[in-house]
Amino acid sequence: MKKQVYLDYNASAPMIAAAKDAVVAALDIAGNPSSVHGAGRDARKIVDHARRAVAEMVGGDSERIIFTSGGTEANNLALNGLEDVVVLTGAVEHPSVMDARSDARRIPVDGNGVIDLNALEDMLKACQAAGEKVLVSVMLANNETGVIQPVARAALLAREYGAKIHCDAVQAIGRIPVDMGQLLVDMVSVSAHKFGGPKGIGALAIAPGVMLVPQIRGGGQEKYRRGGTENVAGIAGLGAAAARVTDRCGRADEIRTKRDRLEKEILALAPEVVIAGRDAARLGNTSCLILPGMPGETQVMAMDLAGVAISSGSACSSGKVRESHVLKEMGVLEPGSAIRVSLGPETTDEEIDMFIRVWSRMRGNAERKKLARNAA
C-alpha cells in the first residue's frame, strides 16, 4: 500500500515517539490521581510532572494549569468562566471561540486577516463608557491562513482599559515560541495533538488573579476548576510533547524554507493563485492557496485520490460544505476555492515535490475539461 503524503499538520500532527511511550506507560497505572494510596500517588506524579511541563512551555505557573479535553474545551472555559463580562473576539477566530459565545462582539480584520487595533480600542472605550467588564479573545495564529496576530499589542490595549485577555495559542505552539509573560495575556489555550501529543487532551493556563467558574462540575479535580477524573494517559502524552516543543520550534526555519519553495513553484505554475495572508506575518508551516474557479473540496478529493492529504479549511468543519468565515472576513473573492497545506518537522522535500506534481496535474486536468466544455 502506497504511503500517503501527509500535509495537514494544522488539523493534527503525528504523535511523537516520546508521547506514545508516555501514554503507554501511563496506561499501566491503575490508580486514580485523587486516591491517597501508592497507585494513586503514582498517577498523581504523572499528572504533576505534565503540569510542570505545560507551564514551562507557555511561561506560566504549574498551579494554574487546568487540564481539559482539548483546545475547544479550553476556549469554552476561558470565554464562559468569567462572570458578567462582555466578550470581544477577533472576526477570524476558530469556531470553538466563535461559537462559545453567540453574544460576542467581533473585532474586524484587514485584508490579511489581522485584527484592527484601532477598532479594538474604540470597542474598549465604548465598553468602558458603558461600565461593562470585558474579556478580549484573540488567537495567536490562524488555523486556516497561519497569519499571526499582534496579541501583545492587543493585550496592552486591554490592560489600559481594565479588560482581561485570552489567547487561543492552539495553532501556534510548536511553531513559534509562546510565553504568557511576553504576550501579556491572562489565559492561554493549548491542544496536545497539534504539536505531537495525543488527541483529546489540552489545557488552559491562567494568570494569577483569574478566577473561573467551572463549566464541568461534579468533583474537586483541577483545584475545583474542572470536574472529572483526570485523563492520566492523555495528560502524560501532553506533558511529553510539551517537554519537546523547543525542539519543534527549532525546526521552524527548515519548515518555512520548504513552505516558501512550495508557494514559489505553485505561483510559477499558476500565477492566478492567491495566497491568503501572504503580506502578513505567518506561521512558516502554513499555506492557504486559492485557485479561482475550482472548489476547495474538489481539490482536496483529487489530491486525496492521488495520495496527498490536505484540507480545505478548519478540520472542525470537515464534511460541511460551507465557505470559510476567515476568508470571507478578509474579503477574499472566492473563499470556496481555498485549500490549506500545512507542514511539520517530518515533512520531506520529496513530499513537497509530490504535492506540486499532483496539484499541477489536477489543475491541468481541470483546465482541459474547461476548454472542452467551452468548445462544445
Sign of CA dihedral 350, 356, 359, 361: negative
Q: Which of 74, 39, 81 is nearest to 54 (CA)?
A: 74
316 an active-site residue?
yes
- In the set 167, 249, 288, 316, the catalytic residue is 316
Nearest to 19 by CA among 186, 170, 196: 196
Burial class from Cβ neighbours inside 10 Å (0-12, 13-18, 19+) for residue 207 reads middle
Tell which residue, 162, 15, 143, 131, has the closest CA to residue 72: 143
Round to whole Å and give the CA distance between 103 and 89: 10
Report the DSSP pairing between strands 105-107 and 164-168: unpaired
Pair 176, 141: CB distance under 8 Å: yes
- Kindly state the DSSP code that residue 339 receives in the 8-state scheme: E
Q: How far apart (Å, rounded) are the C-alpha atoms in residues 25 and 161?
A: 48
The side-by-side arrangement of strands in the sheet containing 338-342 is: 274-275, 286-290, 338-342
3-class SS at 1? coil
Residues designated catalytic: 316
